[in-house]
Amino acid sequence: MGLKYRLSFLMNDDNNSIMKKISEILSLHGWKYNYYSKGECQHWLEAPMFYFGETEKIIERQVNKNGDGLAILLREHQLKFSPIIKLSKMTGFLMDITLYISENNGDWKEVGIFFDKYDYYDSKTDLEKKELYHSLLRLFKQLAKDLGAYYGIAAIEANGLVSLPENLSVTECIQLGDFNYFSDQKSIVISDKISKRYQLESLTNGGILLINKEEKIHYV
């Protein structure tokens, strides 16, 4: 298993509301369930993943190119806790991503997608890397605007995501990813060091984006 690249957001909505919002956004960006490849889904039945309870795994028997596969999945199955769903898209090559919700002990949860960094970025040509970078930026920006998240980051999974709003602190010593989203501009102090590395963009929902100026996925 190689390194995973994640677009992750911190939210406190219920799972059904989150799944409805994020599935609509992903669909608009061409991501489909059980269309280009057989769909797979797993969720926990009695409690979130970290309680190590019983799980249910769904593996579709065959692809279905008639209708919205993700909408059908969400309609026919009550995905109770910590859902993990495989989606695919043709981007010049077949690319798989994993949509997930990871609960904490309270109301806040991590929501996002991840994919294998080597398979879909490191092994590609410079042109393919550039196209993927800008595709991820467009998707990240759409998710940041429409999800109603508190915070978001696109980075190698080792960087992690803060688990609670009060743990979020943006200073010169923090390691930021390629894209960052903050819902409250007033609470963010941007240092000269950060300004040199990131382009700042205000969103219509009142949030702010920090975008890596190097236009590549990198280690921080």
Domains in the chain, please, with CATH?
Answer: 4-157 (3.30.310)
Query: What is the reported pLDDT for 126?
Result: 93
What CA–CA distance (Å, rounded) separates 218 from 154? 10
DSSP helix/strand/coil, 10: strand
Q: What is the reported pLDDT for 175? A: 65
Q: Output the pLDDT for position 127.
A: 93
The pLDDT value recorded for residue 141 is 96
Please give the pLDDT value at position 173: 44
Mean pLDDT, consecutive 10-residue stretches, the chain (220 aa), reads 88 89 92 93 82 85 85 82 92 91 84 94 93 95 93 78 68 70 76 85 90 82
pLDDT single digits (tens) 20-32: 899 899 999 999 9
CA distance 81 to 49: 7
CA–CA distances in Å: residue 137 to residues 44, 51, 127, 168, 217 = 31, 34, 15, 22, 11
- Residues 210, 199 contacting (CB under 8 angstroms): yes
Mean pLDDT of the chain: 86
Instruction: Say what the pLDDT of residue 170 is.
Output: 61
CA distance 186 to 184: 5
Report the pLDDT value the prediction gives residue 172, as an integer from 0 to 100.
44
213 and 183 Cβ atoms separated by less than 8 Å: no
31 closest CA partner among 106, 101, 89: 89
Strands (E), 91-144: 94-103, 109-116
Give the predicted TM-score (pTM) of the model. Answer: 0.89
